[in-house]
C-alpha cells in the first residue's frame, strides 16, 4: 500500500521550488546588502563593484544571475517565467553596461531580486500557484520590443548620420 505522499507529480508539472540558502544570500549580497546611511535605500555589491571595478561587478552579477536561472530550470519553471527572468537579465546587462549611469540603474532595477521573486511565486502549492496570464505575455512582449528598439536606435542613428554626411 502506498500513501498519498508516495505519489510523484507529473513530469511536466513544475516542482516545488527549493531555493537554496546560497542563492538567497547571493541575491541579498548582490542587490541589497548595504544600506545608504540616513535613508531606507539599500544597494548591493552589483552597483558598488560596477562603479569601482566594472569587470568584477559584471562577473559577480553573471554568477548570481546564472544561479537563479539554474534554480528555475531545476524547478521546471514554466517557460514564461524563465523568459521573464532572461529578460530581466538582458535589461540589466543592457543598461548596466553604460558607465556610471548603468551603476545607478543597477542600484534601482535589482534584476536578481526580481528573478528571485519570480521563483518564490512558484513555491506555492499548485492550487495556490497563479498560472501565466495574457498580461504576463503582453508585458514580456512589450519589454522585448522595447529592448529591441533600444538596441536598434543607435544603429538607425548611425545610418541616418552616414546618409546625411554623404
State mean pLDDT over 33-44: 90
3-state secondary structure 88-122: HHHHHHHHHCCCCHHHHHHHHHCHHHHHHHHHHHC
> 3-state DSSP call for residue 35?
strand
Query: Which of 40-44, 79-83, 111-115, 143-147 is predicted with the least confidence, judged by mean pLDDT?
Result: 143-147
Note the pLDDT tens digit of each residue in 5-18: 444 444 444 445 66
Residues belonging to the chain: 166
Over 80: is that where the pLDDT of 87 sits?
A: yes
Over 60: is that where the pLDDT of 116 sits?
A: yes
- Dihedral pair phi/psi, residue 66, rounded to 5°: -65, -40
The mean of the pLDDT values for the chain is 78
pLDDT value at residue 112: 92
On whether the pTM is more than 0.75, the answer is no
pLDDT value at residue 69: 86
* Helical segments of the chain, H only: 21-32, 45-52, 54-74, 79-96, 101-109, 111-121, 134-165
User: What band does 83 get if pLDDT is binned at 50, 70 and 90?
Assistant: confident
Note the pLDDT tens digit of each residue in 154-165: 888 888 888 888
Q: Which of 41, 44, 43, 42 minimizes the C-alpha distance to 26?
A: 44
Question: Of 4-13, 47-56, 129-138, which has the strongest mean pLDDT?
Answer: 47-56
Over 50: is that where the pLDDT of 29 sits?
A: yes
Amino acid at each position: 500500500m502506498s500513501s498519498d505522499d508516495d505519489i510523484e507529480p507529473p513530469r511536466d508539472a513544475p516542482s516545488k521550488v527549493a531555493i537554496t540558502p546560497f542563492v538567497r544570500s547571493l541575491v541579498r549580497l548582490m542587490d541589497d546588502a548595504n544600506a545608504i546611511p540616513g535613508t531606507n535605500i539599500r544597494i548591493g555589491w552589483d552597483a558598488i563593484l560596477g562603479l569601482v571595478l566594472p569587470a568584477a561587478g559584471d562577473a559577480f552579477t553573471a554568477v548570481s544571475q546564472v544561479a537563479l536561472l539554474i534554480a528555475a530550470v531545476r524547478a521546471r519553471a514554466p517557460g514564461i517565467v524563465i523568459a521573464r527572468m532572461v529578460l530581466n537579465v538582458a535589461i540589466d546587462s543592457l543598461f548596466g553596461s553604460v558607465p556610471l549611469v548603468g551603476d545607478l540603474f543597477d542600484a534601482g532595477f535589482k534584476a536578481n531580486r526580481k528573478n528571485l521573486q519570480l521563483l518564490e511565486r512558484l513555491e506555492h502549492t499548485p492550487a495556490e500557484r497563479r498560472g501565466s496570464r495574457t498580461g504576463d505575455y503582453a508585458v514580456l512582449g512589450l519589454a522585448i520590443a522595447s529592448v529591441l528598439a533600444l538596441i536598434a536606435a543607435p544603429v538607425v542613428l548611425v545610418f541616418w548620420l552616414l546618409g546625411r554626411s554623404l
